[in-house]
Amino acid sequence: MSNDAAFFRRQASTQRDAASDATLSNVRERCERAAASWDAMAARAERTDKLRADRQPIAAPDVEASKGEPAASDLTKAGPIVSAE
């Protein structure tokens, strides 16, 4: 089974279509409940994807391609300069 929100949304749409085509009320209600469940799974998958993206590690500092040295913005993060006397 896929954990893709788009897959869940397609399944919900399929169930809504089946509900609209159903002639028996119990079948229609079952399909509507299934569609609601698929929508809930899609919402959870989207929330999980967002939280996972927010937890991704921060990219490594930029390195100037020509010199192989840290970018100027990274030099301010190095801390105090201590002279060796």
Q: Is residue 76's pLDDT more than 70? A: no
Distance, in Å, from the CA atom of 10 to the CA atom of 17, rounded to the nearest integer, reads 11
This prediction has a pTM of 0.62
Query: For the residues 14-33, what does the mean pLDDT come to?
Result: 97
Which tens digits make up the pLDDT trace of 40-75? 999 999 999 999 888 887 665 555 555 666 555 555
Element at 43 (helix H, strand E) = helix 25-54
Cα→Cα distances 42→1, 48, 54, Å:
13, 10, 18
What pLDDT is attached to residue 53?
A: 87
What pLDDT is attached to residue 55?
A: 87
Share the mean pLDDT of the chain. 82
